[in-house]
Each structure stands twice: as C-alpha cells, then as structure tokens.
Chains A and B, each alone.
Chain A
Amino acid sequence: MMLKVLRHDGRPETAPHYDLFEIDAEPGMTVLGALFRAREVYDDSLAFRYSCRGAVCGSCAMLVNRYPALACRTQVAGLLAGEEREPLAPYPAIEGGEAWDARTTVLVEPLPHLPVLRDLVVDMAPFFAHYRAMRPTFAPADRAPERERLMAPETAGALEAYTACLLCGACYGACPVDGDDPAYAGPAALAKVYRFHLDSREAGDGRRLRTADTPHGWWRCEFHANCRRVCPRGIEPNVAIGRARAELTRRKKGGE
C-alpha cells in the first residue's frame, strides 16, 4: 500500500506538500501503525500524536481518506477494500484538494479547523478553549452527604452516553459550521454542557442550558450530524443540541 501524508513544518510562510511512503500492509495494521512504519523506515521527522493506540485516549484524531477518525482505530485493509463509511455532509476541508487512488493509497491529513503545528499535529488550544468556556465543573445542588449521592441506574446509563467522550476533536474537525465560524462552541463542548444538564445531582434548573444559550452555542448548529457520524464513541452531540434547544424553548414559553 501507499501512504500519502500531508507534510508541513508549521511555519505560515511555507507551503504544505504531500509525501508518499510505500508500506508493507500486514494483516491488522492500523493507520497509526502505518504512520509508525513510515517514520521507522523512511523519515523519523514525520510528526503525529499518539498515546494509547487502543482508541481510548483521543490523541490521534486526523483526516483519513478525508474522513475525521482515530488513526489507531482505523484498519488499513478496510480502507483499501473500500469499506463503506456513512457519508458526511460536505464541507470545504474534505472537498477537492489532493487526488488519491483509494484502492491503493491511504490519504492522511491533519484534523481540519485547527492550526497545524507540524505535519499531522494540530494546535488543540481553540478546541479546549471552547470546552473550558462551558465551565465543565460538576456543580451539585446540595451540600455533600456522608455517602454517595443516589442516582438511578438508568440515569447513570443516560449520562454514560456523554461521559464517554474522549475530547479527541474528531467531531470538531467534521463540523461544517466550525469551519465557517471559529466562534462556534462545536459539538464536543455542547455535548459536555448537556452531560451536566442531565446529571440528576445538579439542580436541573436550566442553568447549564443557559450557559450555551448564545448565537455561537446551541443556536449555531445546523444539524449536519457529521459529529454523530465520526464519533469514535458513538456519541450524538446533534441529539443533545436538539434536545437542549427544545427544552430551552419550552422553558421560555413557560415564562421562566
């Protein structure tokens, strides 16, 4: 197989280019494995983030064949075989650009909507700034009891659908709105607010919903649903956003 990788030294004055590496694709090889092989065999200056290699830490979100994904979780064989992925609503970062033959070549590029530091390494600071702006700290409604606060198993399950988020940024890189409007909080940050809103140990008074009740919060989403399609944890930020909007509208009508 061929691995085609976008290279950039991170300086604004230099133009990016693509390098092509020929890799012996072993059974079970992941895109992350192929990147390590390229670095080991050809060029140890190839930069990319990694940590767990098991799809739990969120370090290696990048564009694989123009699709935001965790490199460690993506099998090379599946890509070459033309394995179907749910089509994304189009946006500039995945359209046009460098051509490649998907039957022989895997194309790897940095996650869109974030500045490139080097090669596949992007500056996650804008992403985490949105997260932090949502004040993601548990705020219980009452003083701490002696023992644990009680929670229904079903509520814990419902929360798990959001606490599983890796903050990998794949959804942020997949969101057409984030590409247009850097001020938009984006799917991950909004899903995080919704997680706290759902938490039965907080007041449930709508305070969490109001945190993102802004033109660049809940109301900026256009429901392309790319976030849901690319999430490695099956989280559905678009669903959270839709529910939050409906609930806010209901609360406002109710004269709150």
Chain B
Amino acid sequence: MGARAEVHAHDLVIVGGGLTGLRAALQACRAGVATAVVSKVHPLRSHSVAAQGGINAALGNAPGYEEDTPEAHAFDTVKGSDYLADQDAVAVMCREAPAAVIELEHMGVVFSRTEEGTIAQRPFGGAGFPRTCYAADRTGHTILHTLYEQLMAADVAFYEEFFVTSLVTDGGRCTGCTALSVPPGEVHAFPAKAVLLATGGFGRLYSRSTNALINTGDGAALALRAGAMLKDMEFVQFHPTSLAGTNILITEGARGEGGILLNREGERFMARYAPHSLDLAPRDVVARAIETEVAEGRGFPGGYVHLDLTALGAGKIMARLPGIRQIALDFAGIDPVAEPLPVQPAQHYSMGGIAVDDGGRTGVPGLYAAGECACVSVHGANRLGGNSLLETVVFGRRAADGIIDAVNARARPDPGPAVEAAAADERRVAALLGREGEEKVPALLRDLKETMYRSFGIFREEQKMQDGLSTLTALRKHAAGASVGDRGRRFNQALVNLLELEDLLLVGETVARGALMRRESRGSHTRTDFPKRDDERYLRHTMAGLADGKVVISYAPVTIGTFEPQERVY
C-alpha cells in the first residue's frame, strides 16, 4: 500500500462517543475548539445507553431527606471505596454533582419527577440518603441521547466506526492518533493538539459481564503503550444482579425500589451479611454474599439466586422499572410482576484505569482521559451505584475545560508523525491480514475471559492467580500468531476483534499483576488467603506501566482528607 493516509487535522480528538466523550465534546465545541469525536461505533450505540439506575447528586429532593449534602455524598463515596479513593477528587465530584445534574436537566433530560415536579431521587446501595436521580430505568440512554441532541446544534466532526490503532507521540508529547476506518478498512491520520480518551471500561475481559460487547479496554491499552500509567487495575466491580445466563444488567434500582434477594430456601440471606443495609449494602458486599450462597449450596442449580420484585406490584414495576420488565420478558421469558428473576453476579465496572488528575491529565503531555477508562480516583476499591454517570459528566467537562485552555495556547502540531504512524499501522494491518496461523481469535478470547473469571473474579487466591497469569502469558504468545479468515478490507470485523484481543490481553495482565501483588482484601478485591484489609501496607494505589513491553508495577500514595480510614460496617 503506497497510498498516503487520509489526514484529518483538529485541535482536539476525543476517542469515544459515550457520555464522557459527548459531554467533553459539547464543552470544547462551545468554546470554539475544533473538535472531533472518533468512535468505533455510532455514539448512540455506546455502552452508556445501558446505564439504568441513575446519577447521584445531593439535591435533597426526596421528601424527608432535604438535609442531604455534598459532604454526606463524599463520605458515602469514600466509605464505599474502602478508603482507597482520593478524597480531594471525591470532594470535587460530589461538590459539582448538583450543578452537573441541574445542567443536564437544562439541556432537556427528562428525569422522573416528584409530585412537586422536581427531579425524583431513589435510594441506592451504600448511600445514607435517597440521592440517585433517574429517568425510569433508562437514565444512561436518556442522558446520552440528550447530549447527542445538543451536539446536533454544535460544530463537531463525528468519525463513526473508526477503531483507534495508536496514539502518536512527538518529543514525549501526544500529537494525535491513527485510526482504522472500518467501512473501507484503511488507516487514517488524526494530528491534534490534544487527545482525550473516553473509551469506557474493559468488561469484556470477563466471561460473565454486564457490559456491551464493544467494551474491550482499548483506551487503557493505547495509553499504556503511549507511556501513560494505569492505576488500581485489580479493582474490578462485580454487579450482584445480572440476569442469569445472558448477564444483562438488572439495575440496583430494582432493590432501591424494594426488590429483595432470596436463596433457594426462600431465605432473605442478606440479613446475615449486612444486617443494617440488607439488600442495599454496597455492590462488593452483596456480590460476595450471593457468590457465597451459591458456593455453599444455597443457590439454584446453574449458580444463581432470586431477585423478587413481586411485592412492588405491577404499577410500580411499570412506572419505575419498565426496561427491567422488558429485559426479563425478552431474555428470560419471565414477568417480574408475577415471578422472581434469576440473578447472579457479573463483571460490571472497572474502578481502575488510566491514571489522571482531576483535570483529566495523564503523565503524557497532550494526552487526557476521563470516564470509566480513567482513574481519578473517585471509586477506589468499590464504586457506589449512581456515581459512574456522575463521573462521566463532571470529569468529562473538567477535562475539556483544561484542554480548552491548553489548546488555545498552542499551535497545531506538525502532522508528519501522525502521517508516518498511519503508514506504519497500515503496514501492520496488511501484515495481520496476511498472517498464516492456526490460532483463531474467538477461541483465544474465550480462553482469556474464562481465565480472568476463574482466577481474577470475585474471590482470589495466590495459586489460582499464578496459574491464571501463566495462562495469560501463554495466550499472548498464541495471539501473536493468530490469523483471521477474512483477508478483505471492507468491514473486516474479524480484524477489529483481533486488535481488541491484543488490547484485552495487555489490560488483563495489568489486572493480574496488580491483584497478585496486593496481599489484602479491600472493596472488590477479595483474597481468601489475605481476608483482612491491610492499611499499613496497602493503603496505596497500584500503578502499572510498560517498560520494554513488560508490565511493571509500582505504588503511589492515596490522598486522605477529612475521613480517616475505618472498618466498613453496613
């Protein structure tokens, strides 16, 4: 391929079209920054649409709970995080939450309402107040569509179905990226003054996941290869209630509205694990409880428990949980009005991610990250429900604000390095398509996901993890020889899946090494061989970097603020 790559020059390239990417794009466009959103799917197909339950803000709208404050929100978040969150970042998020939610309402988001007409709020796990604002059980969908609607009136360039293949650095500074345009199968160059990664999580590293199939950790892998660090990657959240089998999410809002968990004996078992919070204990607590019930033979055959919504009645289910009812009907053939739902824990959220400050800055100048792909860190060892949507809009906007100042002060970079990188990636694509090898991507992916679930799932232990890491190392070798059957260029999704596999393998190794070296139990990271939290040795962030192609682990301090670490009791 001698043809010169197509070049698209912008001030800012945002990779990812979910809530974080679109909120940042809106901010940058309004400030006159020439902005592009590069996404591997159409923005409205982003995983953000699947967020059901809501977005937290201390609005105090729930009758009887008017005294809720950002400080109370911050305390719940820090306690939920098992004290690993950086308290300065948490304070920023919780302080900005009410304005961020009001701003969404002003953009046109149709939140569910109280009788007084204000934004309604429901209780969520680990929160001292009903603090979660919602739009029935389609909160992510509604907010994402609203942000997209806002962008219809803004000057933004969308590049849809572009898979970003590498970040471009010039003299240690990020000056753009390259991306495979999937419809024609060509690599394009995107020189830019700044790149913001907003690519979401890496849930598809696990065989059981609530995530969209597109959540393959591409942003984390890109950042790592470009010299940025990843933070706290071993903290992987398992949502307690996914539909057994397909693992489609059943929102925590279902328990917030009064749903209860029952084991095979019909016992409300959460009373034994969290006597005060019961079914609304934080996700790590409930997920471990369900996994324990199943392991000790009190689950149903196939490894699940029941989530019983029948006491809510048809009216409340139709009004507050219409999407849940539809999912149950479509994917399990069960009507939750009449029957309990079979639920089991599944990977749901990546607390860790690209290490950034509260302005989205990575260690690489010109490279920013926000949203689930980043780690600020506001979730620490366990994220509370309703805080992820909040993170996307707060830190998406903050990153954009910082970028606006930075790019206005800079000239557009020399496009040369981006063009050269595109040519190199074009050769790499040609080489991948020309590979002859027995190894096939789907089988490797399946092995990877099952290994991660088995060795780095809810309960972890030294030997299982060592075995898992050996498998990962072997899989990386196999993947280096994997070939695809489709040798064509147009819409070659097999090629995209191969690139995703490479990203997942790299990300998986950071999770594995972080988990092996953290010899304690904290939040979502539960080691049966080290069941206690160990603040003396591990009240610190795990940092993963790449040196000579190898993942290297180091540690960084946690920022403690007004909330002194104490034991979590729910």
Contact = CB atoms under 8 A, between A and B. Distances in A.
Interface of A: 9-10, 28, 39-40, 43-45, 47, 49-59, 73, 75, 117-119, 121, 124, 132, 135-138, 140, 144, 146-153, 155-157, 159-160, 163-167, 199, 201
B150 interface: yes
B107 A138 contact: yes
A52 B152 contact: no
A57 B111 CA distance: 19
Given A73-B330, A132-B152, A44 B113 contact: no
Nearest to B112: A156
Given A148-B102, A148-B111, A156-B112, 6 more contacts: A28-B245, A138-B146, A150-B113, A151-B110, A156-B110, A163-B110
Nearest 4 A/B pairs, CB to CB = A138-B108, A150-B117, A45-B486, A44-B494
Interface string B104-147: 01111011111111111000000000000001101001100110
Given A45-B486, A135-B153, A153-B113, A55 B212 contact: no
A227 to B, nearest CB: 18
Interface residues of B, number: 60
Given A54-B246, A138-B150, A153 B183 contact: no
A146 B102 CA distance: 8
B213 interface: yes
A148 B118 contact: yes
Interface string B182-205: 010000000000000000000000
A177 B387 CA distance: 44
13 contacts: A40-B442, A44-B485, A49-B41, A53-B212, A57-B45, A57-B47, A58-B45, A124-B42, A140-B108, A146-B102, A160-B135, A163-B138, A165-B145
Contacts of A55: 326-327, 330-331
A247 to B, nearest CB: 20
A144 B546 CA distance: 48
Given A45-B485, A54-B331, A117 B491 contact: yes
Interface in B92-109: 102, 105-108
A11 to B, nearest CB: 9
A75 B245 CA distance: 14
B256 interface: no
Contact of A52 (B105, B113, B120, B213): B213
A13 to B, nearest CB: 14
A251 B102 CA distance: 34
A214 B226 CA distance: 52
Contacts of B116: 150
B45 A28 contact: no
Nearest to A123: B183
Contact of A137 (B50, B150, B441, B492): B150
B117 A52 contact: no
A182 to B, nearest CB: 20
Interface of B: 41-42, 44-47, 49-50, 102, 105-108, 110-120, 135-136, 138, 141-142, 145-146, 149-150, 152-153, 183, 212-214, 245-246, 248-249, 319, 323, 326-327, 330-331, 441-442, 484-486, 488, 490-494
A55 B488 CA distance: 30
A54 B331 CA distance: 8
A39 B491 CA distance: 13
A160 B113 CA distance: 12
A135 B154 CA distance: 11
A44 B146 CA distance: 36
B50 A160 contact: no
Contacts of B493: 39, 44, 47
Nearest to B442: A40
